[in-house]
Chains A and B, each alone.
Chain A
Amino acid sequence: MEQESGLKTLPGDEVRQIQWGFSDRYDLQMLVANARRVARTIVAKNVAEGERNTHEWTKKKAAMIDAFDEAGLTAAFMDVEHGGFIDGPKNLALALMAFEISWVDGGAATAGLAGNLALSPINECGTPEQRARYMGGAVPGKGGKLLRGSFDLTEPLPYAGVDGSMLSGTMRIEKWEEGKEPILKIEKRGRFITNMAYANFVTAAVGSADERIKGSTMVILEETDPGLYDRGVATKKMTHQLSSTHDPVFSLSVPASRIIGGYDIVDGKIVPRLDHGSIIEAVFSHTRVTVGIMTAAKLLSAVEPLIRYHRQRYRGTSADDVASPRFKLGIQQKEDAQQRLADIWAAGEAMCSLGFAAARLFDKIDALVKIRKEILAKKGITGGRALYKETKAIEAQAMEYLKLDGSLTEAQKATDAKYRALKEDPLIQFALLDTLGNVYCPAPKLWNTGHGTNMMREAVALMGGYGITEDAPGYLCNKWVDGQLEATYEGPEVVQRRQISLTMTNELFLEQLRLALAELEAIHREMPNVGAAITARAGKLFLFALDYMQKTNDATGKKYFHANRQGVSFPLADALACLLGSVEQIRDLVRLKNEGPQNPVAAESLPGLLPFMGDLCVIQALDMAGEVEKVLTELIYGYMADPASVRTTLKEYQELRLALEESMAGQRSARDRAGYALTQVSIPEVLDYPQ
């Protein structure tokens, strides 16, 4: 088969900017350029020179942090008022930064982001004074000692974990003189604490060990506080050695003003305004998305080195004829190598699409948080029952909005006063985005890192024995193991599954998912070869099954779906995360189709790129649909004693299943086309970072 493939080159920046929604954000484009430069120079050099082979913090690793500072990466998290350069929410910014650095090394990306994690409790919940001191002090180049932080959660010793209900750190009142600020004694032992080799402040979760202090909270500890600030020994991690991780010990005296978010004195007791759980929730609702992006980047980064390796596999042998297919294509002569790489690429695209969609979503949520607070304050609603009542009322209106959104035509939407009023109401929009965010935060963390690591194994396998050597280009073997750590830290898979299983049954979320599936049906009518019908029908099957399992008992009389029945709810969470990956991948393709022609460079590539990216969407949709169908059918039928007795009830399920399977007809050829395109695409002569 010697034919022209439409895919000429690998997708360039112009294409990615459109797909991932930042073609109009120069601040982000600059950040991407800077992160890429640091990643492919000093970070790559550190990996190539074996810096991953030691757990200790070295000069070369420290130089990497300085390079982050110089390139503006450290300041990217900070608001302009504190010396940063990006206005407004930063989720997409940090996700893009993580993507670029993880393209080379996940540990380096973690090192770049861990300081932000330490600052997040202060940024999200801190008092104005705390924000000014620590956010401002963490911006490089302002003179004075640069503040670098670590985030120290519960971590009950001797293990590393994130069980927020088991605090090992304590706070007591050490001194409380009349009319003066109380001095707290903080005892905290951390495990697996990132940045700890050089952090000069720590945000630590502690519980009260004193009857004069209520509950738990997070406090800020500084290196210069009186007492013990012991960084501890370097943790012997299996991977991510370019980030510093220690097991520190703190026994420090700090003023009560270090309680994040402040405190009140009530009946002679110190009452922190925020408990540690609510602070952590505010932090992790954002940061987990970024981790999902880190694993996704690895898959896309594997494409070019694999193509090059496959093509060059037999060059240099004495029998070579430079014009022969064997010389030109090497292993790419074989269909399996082509198509397995297409699988990896397709999964990477879906993971990036899901992760960046989540990051953009949280930017929108963040922009509404302050507005919502102000509106509620004007209404005199501060919490408790009043807030609950208000939330319920808003949710009802939000549902009304969604129903109208699904039923009105575009022309009607433009003129319908009720629809427009609901659409412009920030409280309603917040409720909608928030319910989405509750699923979209854990989804990429769960699916990208878990499935992504499995797919990285595939990438390593495609290099054969070369893949498991240090000489393999693209550090694929490192990235495979890095993915496993990313699946674990900031909440392992079980935590994410639990989160999804609790939030995916929210009616506002489910209605938004129904609308997304209707959107895919419409896309299918216009673009029949992008897997939209497959994804829509897999989604419908999922919705039916979830509803059925929520309402039905199994053969033992137990409800199929129950919060504690993880054998059912967790596989459903996996299936949903995977489904959302396909939804977002197709949405990104549509954005590229619609906006690409306005960019001359992207436009030039679209005739070949769009069909190829469409084929990748199909590959992923097929894989996802198979997985979703397997999970649902296994659960529904697997806990059933007599299928005959429910045949009528499940008739709709069977019809939906049939419709899904029929939508797959003829679609597998997308894999053949994509595989062939990989044999034709032009790639750079060499990798653009040291190996």
Chain B
Amino acid sequence: MSIDHTYHLVICGSVVPDPLQSLEPVVTQGKPGLKNELMLPMVLDPFVNHSLNEAAKLREATKDTQVHLVAVGPKAKLQQLMMVLAQKTAFNLVAVDAPAGGFIDSHTVAAALAEAIKAIPGLDLQKTLVFGGWSSASRASGTTLQLVGEKLGITEQFFGVDRLTPAADGGFTVLERVEAGQHLETQVAGAPAVIGWATGELPELPNNPKIGMMNMAKIMPAIGKAKAVDLASAGFSVVDTALPAEKRQTRVVKDMPAAAVAAEIKEWIASGKAG
């Protein structure tokens, strides 16, 4: 299906510390952060990945739709990430150089994102769909995307979205997650809107190094130009950070029937030992 309508797609998203790493909160130079934060491997926030897949699909289904990725994160980490992301689909990168450890006030991040979006040359906010994660793999409060929308004056906002179907007139249908595995379907007259993606329904885009090589020609200058911003905000402080108490009770058991495992877990929970 090809629709004779143009959207301006802006994806807000960035890197998060690899959740497989041992992430230890610490306070350095008076600011909360992660131990060895810059040295830890970082990955694209998986929710943003879903947004990118959906954006690529929407661009294919429409006419002349352009995709912009606005990413707030450490410049050097963004560069590494682009080695994968650039291979997925064509997009313009707007990079903002700032920490991405997960201990930042969402108001401050949203302000930086909104400023970066407003500065995208040729972007028409009235045609814009702002994509991003419904949640984040960092310790985010899940409010950043809403705040970005508010700061841009976009009040049509949908969260937990699994599907967006464009219509010929520029409108679209959104399928949002609600309670108990149910979806809410909403007909929207058209852009602008904020779409906070859940997992979506699309498979991950394959890596295509040819697309990557084309994208990198634009991406590297964009990273080079990334403006450094201080995301400290007055009145915001992290009072305390701590790891969840480590508790391991490993027992290697083989060939135990699933029913027996379930019964044991049930007993354990009922005993109150789970904490």
Q: How far is the CA of A365 from the CA of B251 in the complex (A)?
A: 56
* Interface residue count on the A side (C-beta < 8 Å): 35
Minimum CB–CB distance for A248 against chain B, Å:
32
CB pair B22 A601 closer than 8 Å: no
Interface-forming stretch among B72-80, B182-190, B229-237? B72-80
Q: Which residues of A contact B35 (CB under 8 A)?
A: 8, 682
**Cβ–Cβ contact B22 & A685, under 8 A:** yes
Interface residues of A in 567-599 (CB under 8 A from B): 599
Q: Do B84 and A9 touch across chains, with their CB atoms under 8 A apart?
A: no
A684 within 8 A of partner (CB): yes
Considering only residues 32-46 of chain A, those with a C-beta below 8 Å from chain B are 32-34, 37
Per-residue interface assignment for chain B, residues 180 to 206, with 1 indicating a CB less than 8 Å from any chain A CB and 0 otherwise: 000000000000000000000000001
Chain A residues in 8 Å Cβ range of B212: 26-27, 30, 85
Contact A30 B20 (CB under 8 A): no
A601 touches B39 (CB 8 A): yes
Inside 8 A of A76's CB, which chain B residues have their CB?
209
B135 vs chain A, min Cβ distance (A): 21
Stretch at the interface among B5-13, B55-63, B126-134, B242-250: B242-250
- SS class, residues of chain B in contact with chain A: loop
Q: How far is the CB of A562 from chain B (nearest CB, A)?
A: 50
Q: Does B220 contact A (CB under 8 A)?
A: yes
Q: B residues within 8 A CB of A9? A: 36, 39-40
Identify the closest chain B residue to A67 (Cβ). Answer: B206
Query: Is B83 a contact of A37 with CB atoms below 8 Å?
Result: no
A605 vs B80: C-alpha distance when bound (angstroms):
16
Contact B209 A315 (CB under 8 A): no
How many A-B pairs have beta carbons closer than 8 Å: the answer is 99
In the bound complex, CA of A684 to CA of B22 (Å): 5
Indicate if the CB atoms of B213 and A601 lie closer than 8 Å.
no
Is A600 close to B, CB under 8 A?
yes
Contact A72:B248 (CB < 8 A) given known A9-B40, A601-B39: no
Q: Of A600, A683, A688, which one neighbours B38 at CB under 8 angstroms?
A: A600
Residues of B with C-beta under 8 A to A37: 84, 207
Residue ID in chain B nearest A83 by CB atoms: B210
Nearest B residue (CB) for A75: B209
The 8 Å CB contact of B74, one of A71, A312, A600, is A600
Q: Does B41 reach chain A (CB closer than 8 Å)?
A: yes
Contact at A682–B84, with CB atoms within 8 Å? no
Q: Among the interface residues A9, A32, A688, which one has the most CB atoms of the partner chain B within 10 A?
A: A9
Residues of chain B within 8 A of A686, CB atoms compared: 20
B96 interfacial by beta-carbon distance below 8 Å: no
Is B167 at the interface (CB under 8 A from chain A)? no
Specify which chain A residues have a CB less than 8 angstroms from the CB of B247 in the assembled complex. Answer: 322
Pair A72/B39 contact, Cβ less than 8 Å: no
Q: How many angstroms from the CA of A363 to the CA of B185 in the assembled complex?
A: 57
Among B24, B38, B209, B212, find the residue whose CB has the most chain A CB atoms closer than 10 A.
Answer: B209
* Cross-chain contact A85 with B250 (CB below 8 angstroms): no
Instruction: Decide yes or no: A33 and B207 within 8 Å by CB, A26-B83, A600-B38 being known contacts.
Output: yes
Q: Is B21 among interface residues, defined by CB-CB distance under 8 A?
A: yes
Interface presence of B208 (CB below 8 A)? yes
State whether A34 and B39 are in contact (beta carbons under 8 Å apart), knowing that A27-B213, A322-B247 are contacts in the complex: no
Listed residue (A26, A29, A682) with the most chain B CB atoms within 10 angstroms of its CB? A26
> In whole angstroms, what is the CA distance A34 to B76 when docked?
19
- Report whether B21 and A30 are in contact in the complex, using a CB–CB cutoff of 8 Å: no
Judge if A13 is at the interface, Cβ distance under 8 Å. Answer: yes
Q: Which residues of A contact B38 (CB under 8 A)?
A: 600-601, 604-605
Per the bound structure, the CA–CA distance linking A85 and B36 in Å amounts to 36
B209 x A685 contact (CB < 8 A): no
Query: Does B49 sit at the interface, judged by CB under 8 A?
Result: no
Known: A30-B87, A316-B248. A682 touches B21 (CB 8 A): yes
Measured in the bound complex, the distance between the Cα atoms of B55 and A231 in whole Å is: 46
- Cα distance A684–B19 when bound, in Å? 8
B21 contacts which chain A residues (CB < 8 A)?
Answer: 682, 684-685
Residues of chain A within 8 A (CB-CB) of B39 are: 8-9, 12, 601, 604-605
Interface string of A663-681 (1 = CB under 8 A from B): 0000000000000000000
Given contacts A682-B24, A682-B36, 14 further A-B contacts (CB under 8 A): A9-B40, A12-B39, A27-B213, A29-B80, A30-B83, A30-B207, A30-B209, A34-B87, A72-B209, A316-B250, A600-B75, A601-B80, A604-B39, A683-B22
Residue ranges of B at the interface with A (Cβ–Cβ < 8 Å): 18, 20-22, 24, 35-36, 38-41, 74-77, 80, 83-84, 86-87, 206-210, 212-213, 216, 220, 246-251
Name the 9 nearest CB pairs between A and B, nearest first. A316-B250, A72-B209, A601-B76, A684-B20, A8-B36, A29-B83, A604-B38, A600-B76, A9-B39
5 CB < 8 A contacts A-B: A72-B209, A315-B248, A600-B75, A601-B39, A601-B76
